[in-house]
Amino acid sequence: MMEVEERLRPIANRPVDITRPGWGTRLAEAMDPLDEAGVRHQTDLLLWQLIQFYQKSDHAERNEVRNLFKKFHAFTWAAHLSFGATTEEKFRQHVLLFSMKDQGRDSRDALLWLQHLCREAKSAGVNCESMIKEVAELSSDQNKYGMGSTKQMLLKAI
């Protein structure tokens, strides 16, 4: 994770000049940070391994995984699954990643991400409720930013 973090950090820390017209378009059209840093394969493999470990771990081990995501900011910012939440298993993996990231640095962004995942899954005919409940039980109870814990966010999404 440290190697991927180091490769992503310059991209994550690159300034975005929001005073220049068209900044949003340029940002949306920019190359995916994982591809720009040349770390997509490593990140995909690492996320798969972390998801497998996280869902089988005890409370203390899951907390350590969440601490890794807290420590490695650039990795957390850029890491995402390369597929949509269009089947029950794919949705489950996305929600597990949501739980591992534990709201990242901004609970508002996390909430928008969760809403997007649920909309995408529901439009594909995925029954989200049971997976959300399952992952909520694995998630943090800590209200990090005053908008509720990750567990509460998940349960409210049902």
Q: Pick from 82, 101, 132: which residue ends a domain? A: 82
- Do 78 and 88 lie in one domain? The reply is no
As averages over each run of 10 residues, the pLDDT of the chain (158 residues) reads: 97 92 91 97 98 98 98 97 97 98 96 97 96 98 96 96
Give the per-residue pLDDT at 8. Answer: 98
pTM of the model: 0.94
- Do 64 and 101 lie in one domain? The reply is no
Burial of 100 by CB count in 10 Å (0-12 exposed, 13-18 middle, 19+ buried)?
buried
Burial of 134 by CB count in 10 Å (0-12 exposed, 13-18 middle, 19+ buried)?
middle
Burial of 123 by CB count in 10 Å (0-12 exposed, 13-18 middle, 19+ buried)?
exposed
Amino acid at 5: E
Tell me the CA end-to-end span of the chain in Å, nearest whole number: 32
Q: Pick from 63, 82, 101: which residue ends a domain? A: 82
- Do 102 and 74 lie in one domain? The reply is no
Q: Which domain holds residue 106?
A: 83-158
**How many CB atoms are located within 10 Å of the residue 74 CB?**
19
- Do 2 and 60 lie in one domain? The reply is yes
- Do 37 and 73 lie in one domain? The reply is yes
- Do 37 and 69 lie in one domain? The reply is yes
95 closest CA partner among 135, 47, 140: 135
